[in-house]
Amino acid sequence: MLNVYEETQIAIPGEWQSAVGELEQFLEANWELRSVFYEDGDITSIQQFLSFAGQGKIRTGRYIGTIAFKGQQLNIFPKVFKPAANDYDTQDLSLPLLMKNLTEWLNYCSRFNYPYINIKSEFEDTNDLRGLFVSLYIRYVKNALEHGLFYQYEDKTEDGGAIRGQIDIRDYALNKIPRGMADRFLCTYSSFEFDNRLNRIIKYTCKLLHSEVYGENRRILRHILLRLGEAADVRCKPSDCDAVQLSPLHGNYRVILGMSKMFLLNQTASYMPDVNESFCFLFPAEYLFEGFIGGFMQGLLRGRARVRLQASEVSLVDDIVIEGQSHGRAFTMRHDILVEHGDKVFIFDAKYKEISRLKGNPSVAREASQADLYQVFAYAARRGVGDVYLLYPMFRLEDEEDSAARLVIPFAEREVNVHIVRLPFVFGDDAEVTRARLASVLEAIFSSQSQTPEVTAPHTPHQRQGS
């Protein structure tokens, strides 16, 4: 078992060196399944979990979680789990610590597909990612069955004494009449069946998982198998899932189908990896940060303000006019978090990037990406507000920041203030402490816009872009 941080280059583990091609195919297959849980906006068909750097090296991407393959388990931790910016020591990292934080983040994050499930209450005691996904899957299926059993029209072909559906005229003329069987008809018809391909896949997947669940999960699984008793017992393959057609009305079963394919692809009988075990469960860290902060604000300001995530009703260009003819808007602006608090509008852009502590740090303007500054400046200009906020995560063991930074950018006859704020993001032993720290920082933003120390952005054509 190997613990590493995201965006880190390491030597390819020995167990993987002789099977790099297989590993790449395995990662590609799991990359295609990620849309079951989240849409990360990356349309490339080439997996981004790991990159193969040559000379026996691999580099982890911006995805955190676990890859188990050929007897080696690679746990990828968020870069903000580092005690400080340049401290890459991994000795005190543990999978339960990662699981604790994932359950906290996912509990607030609406950008992931977890209908009916209270992540935090269900999985507080889960200490590995496969266990989390098994629990998720079991509860998905349980809730789907409780909302309604899945029936589907399936074509059936039968030879009988009555015409049902569409008769096979060729068979009737060439086989039935010459043999004196004019009262027999080969017919194809549609039947509304519970014993359909999807229910068979779910039943097979549940039986596959039965040996690795205990306690409440096993009780739920037995109940599921009882409900699926009329579905045939057949051995299923990942490719069987591709043959299932679902209507938009069955969105909950679409998630179940994707998870079923994931488990069929990543079959395993135990948690600790052996030479035959493979699984890959990874989350995009930047989406977790953005989704968690947005969800936390919604809870914090419930009843006091309107909090919208990914608000996109405004475009940078109102109209494209060519030869007097209007061609409509262009460049839709999508704000990570938009808060309407009283008579004020707050625009937040979450940036999952490493940035130095703010106090006594006039170079903070150079650490912020120039592209990010242009982006939020455009938001402020288009919305007509004087203050916008760039939000960055703090490292795991950092003390609270007692300062924020305000980059003052001249604009027409007024100024646009770009506030840089670092937020506690990593949960320790006492989750309430982290929540209280985060709430305190956010409340300070909403209560005042004029008490942050000012750091003026330097006006120079040679400003370096931050990472």
Please tell me the total number of residues recorded for the chain in this structure: 467
Given 3-state DSSP classes, what are the helix, strand and coil percentages for the chain, each rounded to the nearest 5? Answer: 35, 25, 40
pLDDT at 270: 35
DSSP-derived secondary structure for 46-76? S--SEEEEETTEEEE-SEEEEEEETTEEEEE
**Looking at residue 70, what is its pLDDT?**
82
* pLDDT, position 194: 85
Cα distance between the two ends of the chain: 30
- How far is residue 47's CA from residue 463's CA, in Å, rounded to a whole number? 33
Element (H, E) at 253: helix 251-265
3-class secondary-structure state, position 88: coil
Q: What are the extents of the domains in the chain? A: 152-193, 306-447
**Confidence (pLDDT) at 221:** 92
Q: 139-159 b/e with 16+ CB inside 10 Å = b?
A: bbbbebbeeeebebeeeeeee
Tokens of 148: 């309604």
User: Is the C-alpha dihedral spanning 211, 215, 218, 222 positive or negative?
Assistant: positive
| Residue ranges of the chain whose pLDDT lies below 70 | 36-37, 39-44, 111-128, 251, 267-277, 319, 448-467
Amino acid 116: pLDDT: 38
CA gap 314, 308 in Å, rounded: 13
Q: Which two tokens stand for residue 7?
A: 């965006």
According to DSSP, the residues that pair with 409 across neighbouring strands are 416
With contact defined as beta carbons under 8 Å apart, do 244 and 257 qualify?
yes
- Rounded Cα gap, residues 202 and 244, in angstroms: 12
Burial class of 439 by CB neighbour count within 10 A (0 to 12, 13 to 18, 19+): middle
Please report, for residues 171, 177, 192, 205, the alpha-carbon distance to residue 186 in angstroms, rounded to integers and kept in the order given.
Answer: 7, 12, 19, 35
Can you give the pLDDT at residue 433?
92
Res 42: pLDDT: 63
What does the pLDDT read at residue 353?
92
For residue 360, give the 3-state DSSP assignment.
coil
Element (H, E) at 156: strand 152-160
pTM of this prediction? 0.72
pLDDT tens digits, 172-217: 888 888 888 888 888 887 777 888 899 999 999 999 888 888 888 8
Please tell me the predicted confidence (pLDDT) of residue 123. 53
Q: How many helices (H) and strands (E) does the chain have?
A: 14, 18
> Cβ neighbours of residue 441 under 8 Å, at least 6 residues apart?
400, 401, 421, 423, 424
pLDDT in tens, 407-462: 888 887 778 888 999 999 999 888 899 999 999 999 999 986 533 334 333 333 33
338-345, long-range: CB < 8 A, 24+ apart? 338/307, 338/308, 338/309, 338/311, 339/297, 339/301, 339/305, 339/306, 339/307, 339/308, 339/446, 340/305, 340/306, 340/308, 341/301, 341/304, 341/305, 341/306, 341/446, 342/305, 344/449, 345/383, 345/385
How far, in Å, are 17, 138, 212, 263, 298 from residue 122 at the CA level?
38, 11, 17, 20, 21
Q: In the prediction, which pLDDT does 273 show?
A: 38
Q: Please state, in angstroms and rounded to a whole number, the distance separating the CA atoms of residues 438 and 433.
A: 9
Asked if residue 83 lies in contact with residue 396, where contact means CB atoms within 8 angstroms, the answer is: yes
What does DSSP say about strands 166-167 and 50-54: parallel, antiparallel, or unpaired? unpaired
The whole-angstrom separation of Cα 171 and Cα 177 is 9
Q: Distance between CA atoms of 335 and 373, rounded to whole angstroms?
A: 14
The β-bridge relationship of strands 330-341 and 9-11 is unpaired
Output the CA–CA distances (angstroms, integers) from residue 437 to 83, 434, 440, in the order listed. Answer: 18, 5, 5
On whether the CB atoms of residues 373 and 359 are closer than 8 A, the answer is no
Determine the pLDDT at residue 9.
Answer: 92
